[in-house]
Structure 1
Amino acid sequence: MSRNITIKDIAREAGVSISTVSFAFNGTAPVAAETKARIFEVIKRLNYQPNSAARGLVTRKTNNICLFTPHPASDFFSFKGNSVFADLLQGIGEVLDQKDHNLLISWENLGHKAKTPKLIKLMRERAMDGVLISLPDHDSSIIEELTEQNFPVVILGSNDLKNQVNSVDVDNYEIAYRNTQHLIDLGHTRIAFISPGPLEFLVCEDRLEGYQDALDSAGIKRKEEYIYIGDENESSGRKAAEHFRLLKEPPTAIVAGRDVQAVGVLDYAAANGLSVPGDIALVSFENTALADKYGITSITTNLYEIGKEGAKLLLKLLNRKKDRPAQNISIPSELIIRSSCGAQTGSA
């Protein structure tokens, strides 16, 4: 069996230095056209297959991008059975594939208190060129360490570091305000809210605040009993609907935190002889296939576009020669009106 061809063999055969072969192959410095053609003729003739690890030592690039989720111990940020995260991965993957980059997925359980976080280890080991990260709560220490090292990072989702760190998301405050205002415009004043998850998560906090501010702007008094902390399961929608129905003054409308919860509300209504939207008007978030299947009015939270734009932004950071102000990209959202709210179907 013949030995593996190395960059030294290419250089010797082409009559150039090793660094010239590297410059020609990686495009990291100009090489005369004639010399470059001779190098690539040798590469083709000898069937040279570059060693990516060795090439990384020369170029200081791995062509690896990491998608990092710090808290998968919570089902709220789980990939398992989550079509929304599948959309996120699709958006990221399409962009990176076009630019010949690899996607690494890494996470760290909420309960793990390692001396050095996994993401910091990956950065120090140069296992990746940049990171896309979900930052679900107010703990931004890991982001601060990355930015101190001038390491390229883009936050996907809500964050407390606007104007400091590049990010891509929908405006969760604004879309919650719009959902609530839509029900107010339909004449409702007793409007309940199901949080998509624990309020420690920024997305849940932002949506609750948008809901509350819409009520305040309309002069509608807030009621604590109209707020229910849900989760990623359909059952939380059923439990929320039951909780609201047993109140002395039940709400006439519900802002569900996610489509799967809205399906739970519909299930409870059907089992208890309630009309939607007659007895309970319903709006939701995400506009997934569930919303279309069950006729749920829902606002888009396009994770495919978030993933796509996040990956594009990160690749721009990798190629920038000088620092620029952080970009905070907001993906537009559209309220898709279906039968569950009682308004004429369409979009708003």
Structure 2
Amino acid sequence: MVTIKDIAREAGVSISTVSFAFNGTAPVAPETKERIMEVIRRLNYQPNSAARGLVTRKTNNICLFTPQPASEFFNFSGNSIFNDLMQGIGEILDQKDHNLLISWDNLGHKAKTPKLVKLMRERAMDGVLICLPKHDSSVIAELTEQNFPIVIIGSNDMKNQVNSVDVDNHEIAYRNTRHLLNLGHSKIAFISPGSLEYLVCEDRLEGYKSALEEEGVKFREDYVYIGDDKETSGYRAMEYFRSLKDTPTAIVAGRDAQAIGVLEYAQMHGLNVPKDIALISFENTPQAVKYGITSATTNVYESGKEGAKLLLKLLSRKKERPPQNIVISSELIIRSSCGAAIVGSE
């Protein structure tokens, strides 16, 4: 295999000059650089990325990290939302010739040194995109103390402290609930997309409650059901709501999969949607289109793209600047499930 020493000998220059010319880390006379590049092309020199990284202090590796990929709320396997996130990130990094690494810590993993901190210390990556589903910012604190480039993708409680990209889950839930209130409903139930220990679930519940409070509608604990990422949780939620003495007339589902479960229950029990139960959801997946579900966009693909762009921008900056918190816009796509007379956005 051709080495940098071979290039230097053939071009009649020092090894450091070859490195300067190839990596652009120091000025080299144009004619000397052209001679070196001609030898590189002729000998088909392929640089060792690890060795090059020692010189440039860059790996061209970006890490996507999550502390809890095995949870019922954030699971890599069969998760179309995660695929959208990956697609958005990958497209941007590919344009800039960066590699994407994926790393995670399993639930309950209590290593002395968190994996993400080890990756930073080993210089295995230039920056990290991190999904932080819970109120756990300890690892972020250690990275920021070292001025390591970080962008959080998704809900987080560190706004104005760390760079982040997300939709405004509180605002979307507020608008979804507000839409049903405007249609004349006051008995509106809420299906959480997961446990309330997750930030996105907490944000959506609080947005739902804010809309009720603004309208003077009393919040009812019995109108809240904690679901998961499966259609069956929507079905079970309907079983629970229908068992109540005072049943709701409308539902804000935390995700489209749950909304499909609500529709399945309605079909099996002779209920008409939206006449007997109006329905609105989040994510606007292809399933929402297929089943006519009114749903708000939560553009994870765009979040991935903007997160990758922001991180690459951090890597190129020479001066430190205040953190950016980018909010991805959302639109309510109105379909038949909510009973609105006009198709459009709220």
Kindly indicate whether the alpha-carbon contact (under 8 Å) linking 1:65 and 1:128 is maintained by their aligned counterparts in 2.
Answer: yes
Kindly indicate whether the alpha-carbon contact (under 8 Å) linking 1:73 and 1:111 is maintained by their aligned counterparts in 2.
Answer: no
1:217-296 mapped onto 2 (5 Å cutoff): 217-296=214-293
1:22 and 2:14 matched: no
Kindly indicate whether the alpha-carbon contact (under 8 Å) linking 2:70 and 2:76 is maintained by their aligned counterparts in 1.
Answer: no
1:174 and 2:171 matched: yes
Residue matched to 2:32: 35
Residue matched to 2:59: 62
For 2:161 and 2:20, the matched residues in 1 are separated by 35
Q: 2:304 aligns with which of 304, 307, 331?
A: 307
TM-score by length of 2: 0.98
Amino acid at match of 1:231: D
Residue matched to 2:345: 347
Deviation for aligned residue 1:19: 2.0
Identity over the aligned pairs, expressed in percent?
A: 79
CA distances 1:45-79 after superposition (whole Å, capped 9, x unpaired): 11111111111111111111000010113121101
Amino acid at match of 2:17: T
For 1:345 and 1:29, the matched residues in 2 are separated by 60
Deviation for aligned residue 1:10: 1.1
1:185 and 2:182 matched: yes
1:144-223 mapped onto 2 (5 Å cutoff): 144-223=141-220
Structure 1's consecutive aligned runs of 4 or more residues displaced over 4 angstroms after TM superposition are none
For 1:29 and 1:217, the matched residues in 2 are separated by 62
Residue matched to 1:52: 49
Kindly indicate whether the alpha-carbon contact (under 8 Å) linking 1:92 and 1:308 is maintained by their aligned counterparts in 2.
Answer: yes
CA distances 1:160-205 after superposition (whole Å, capped 9, x unpaired): 1111100000000000000000000101000000000000000000
For 1:20 and 1:325, the matched residues in 2 are separated by 38
Kindly indicate whether the alpha-carbon contact (under 8 Å) linking 2:194 and 2:227 is maintained by their aligned counterparts in 1.
Answer: yes
Kindly indicate whether the alpha-carbon contact (under 8 Å) linking 2:72 and 2:194 is maintained by their aligned counterparts in 1.
Answer: no
Deviation for aligned residue 1:38: 0.8
115-124 vs 293-302, which moves further: 115-124
Kindly indicate whether the alpha-carbon contact (under 8 Å) linking 2:153 and 2:165 is maintained by their aligned counterparts in 1.
Answer: yes
SS at match of 2:65: strand
27-36 vs 103-112, which moves further: 27-36
SS at match of 1:347: coil
Amino acid at match of 1:150: N
For 2:27 and 2:247, the matched residues in 1 are separated by 72
Amino acid at match of 2:336: S
12-21 vs 129-138, which moves further: 12-21
Deviation for aligned residue 1:36: 1.4
Deviation for aligned residue 1:33: 1.9
For 1:176 and 1:97, the matched residues in 2 are separated by 34
Deviation for aligned residue 1:309: 0.3
Residue matched to 1:334: 331
Deviation for aligned residue 1:81: 1.0
Deviation for aligned residue 1:113: 0.7
For 1:12 and 1:149, the matched residues in 2 are separated by 40
For 2:73 and 2:38, the matched residues in 1 are separated by 53
Amino acid at match of 1:267: E
Kindly indicate whether the alpha-carbon contact (under 8 Å) linking 1:95 and 1:308 is maintained by their aligned counterparts in 2.
Answer: yes
Deviation for aligned residue 1:15: 2.2
Deviation for aligned residue 1:34: 1.5
SS at match of 1:276: coil
Q: How many residues were matched structurally? A: 345
1:297 and 2:294 matched: yes
SS at match of 1:151: coil
For 1:326 and 1:131, the matched residues in 2 are separated by 15
Residue matched to 2:131: 134
Deviation for aligned residue 1:111: 1.1
For 1:280 and 1:232, the matched residues in 2 are separated by 21
For 2:88 and 2:15, the matched residues in 1 are separated by 38
Residue matched to 1:100: 97
CA distances 1:104-137 after superposition (whole Å, capped 9, x unpaired): 0011112111111111111111111110000111
- Listed as ranges, the gaps of 5+ residues in structure 2 are none
Amino acid at match of 1:168: V
SS at match of 1:77: coil
Q: 2:109 aligns with which of 109, 112, 116?
A: 112
Amino acid at match of 2:28: V
Kindly indicate whether the alpha-carbon contact (under 8 Å) linking 2:193 and 2:229 is maintained by their aligned counterparts in 1.
Answer: yes
Deviation for aligned residue 1:9: 1.5
